Amino acid sequence: MSTQNNCPFSAEEIASEGIKPEEYEEIVRRLGRHPNKAELGMFGVMWSEHCCYKNSRPLLKQFPTTGERILVGPGENAGVVDFGDGLHIAFKIESHNHPSAIEPFQGAATGVGGILRDIFTMGARPIAALNSLRFGSLEDSRNRQIFKGVVSGISHYGNCFGVATVGGEVYFDPAYNGNPLVNAMAIGLMETPEIVKSGASGIGNPVLYVGSTTGRDGMGGASFASAELSEESIQDRPAVQVGDPFLEKSLVEACLEAFKTGAVVAAQDMGAAGITCSTSEMAAKGGVGIELDLDLIPVRETGMVAYEYLLSESQERMLFVAQKGREQELIDIFHRWGLQAVVAGTVIAEPMVRILFQGGIAAEIPADALAENTPLYPREILSEPPEYVQIAWQWTPGNLPESTVSGIKINGEFQSWSHILLTLLDTPSIASKRWVYRQY
């Protein structure tokens, strides 16, 4: 790279943040200087596929996103639709694949916790959860471990939080060996008079940190979730978050109570990329800046550096912008529910994310460089379907083997209908899923 001569990082250090050489060049160009370690980490998580959809966004934009009943489309914490009869429904679906492959229980549990927060951040009370799951062959012990852990994690978080999993699907195929698909969905009913948005506004308004404390768990989880899964990833457990559904139950009540006061200007869940994501997205959406002092953040561990604060994905945390002069009213609500709540920053006019730490500036980056004007990689669509799809399309009923009232010949061997039925019922994708849904 052209900036290599005076670059403070090795190529390996840059790659470890999930940043390509050409992306580092772009970072230097935008800042007019080399980033420091904390800033490099911030770009790494915010420019990951998990946060900015740099590979899939052009394709996702082809989906219809507007309609007379759509109240909130893509870009907010969750979608909101007009369900009729005065009911407004918030919904969100999100994957937690890599974390579930590494630590099945916590990976799936925090996936559920994250989408539940997305729902009540909009001012809606979660009323139901769903999921769509894909696992590898159950002949493999690792796949069985992932399957059991994921189902247990989903049921644990949902049951402890108090929301039922009302529907879902489970399928098995060797294509998912060691790398499951864990898609979780939540639905909620709007309880607040107005939909709570995430764009910060009001220069001088206080920024509140609320919920749980910050630790080192989930470090760099967004970058990890965007990387290719490998054998080495199995040991990457610190990148998986640890959830507390009982604390989140208090958090939903406190948030809905706070929203009803009218003192909350904007709210953002601290999910992937934690403090980095919430500050930059809130600032960019509002066209303003946020200055945040890390020394004011409640922590659960000592000796943390700015990089760790900014990339931590400790669960059950949120960021609010409050009306100036009404911050204590909100703090009192959260304290009453046994939660952390502090004024940790301010909305500023300059459209920057400015992070203070130990009396100095730990990071200073334009908000839109992190959250809006991110890299984009258009991908070519296949000129024709894969061969296996084309073969499947050529199938006709004439391809079926000859059958009789007693059975059918498969590869020259006669199989009775009763044997075929038992074989089908023994297939995991067809067999009863009672073991799964009874846990929900």
Annotation marks residue 50 as catalytic: yes
Q: Is 98 a known active-site residue? A: no
CA–centroid distance for 310 within its chain: 16
Catalytic residue among 88, 96, 98, 156: 96
Cα 329 from chain centre: 30
In the structure encoding, which two tokens stand for residue 433, read together? Answer: 């899923």
Two tokens, residue 143: 């796949």
Which residue in 50, 88, 98, 156 is the catalytic one? 50
Q: Would you call 28 exposed, middle or buried from its count of C-beta atoms within 10 A (0-12, 13-18, 19+)? A: middle
Give the Cα separation of 99 and 164 in Å (integer). Answer: 22
d(CA 136, CA 182): 12
| HEC-encoded secondary structure of 49-62 | HHHHCCCCHHHHCC
The encoded tokens of residue 196 equal 């709570």
User: In sequence order, which residues have a C-beta less than 8 Å from that of residue 8 and are 6 or more positions away?
Assistant: 34, 36
Cβ neighbour number for residue 53 with a 10 Å cutoff? 17
* Eight-state DSSP code of residue 74: B
Query: Cα(98)–Cα(96) distance, rounded to whole angstroms?
Result: 6
Q: Show the beta-strand stretches assigned E in 102-178.
A: 124-135, 165-172
Q: Give residues with Cβ within 8 angstroms of 300, minimum separation 6.
A: 213, 214, 215, 314
Would you state the structure tokens that stand for residue 414, as one six-digit string? Answer: 């006669």
Q: Are 201 and 266 in contact (CB under 8 A)?
A: yes
Whole-number Å distance between alpha carbons of 33 and 36: 9
DSSP string computed for 34-54: ---HHHHHHHHHHTSHHHH-T
DSSP assignment letter at 335: H
In Å, what is the CA distance from 34 to each residue of 3, 6, 14, 46, 368? Answer: 9, 9, 12, 17, 18
Alpha helices in 320-366 (DSSP H): 327-336
Q: How far apart are CA 79 and CA 65, in angstroms?
A: 10
Which helix (H) or strand (E) covers residue 369, if one does? helix 367-371
Return the active site residues: 50, 96
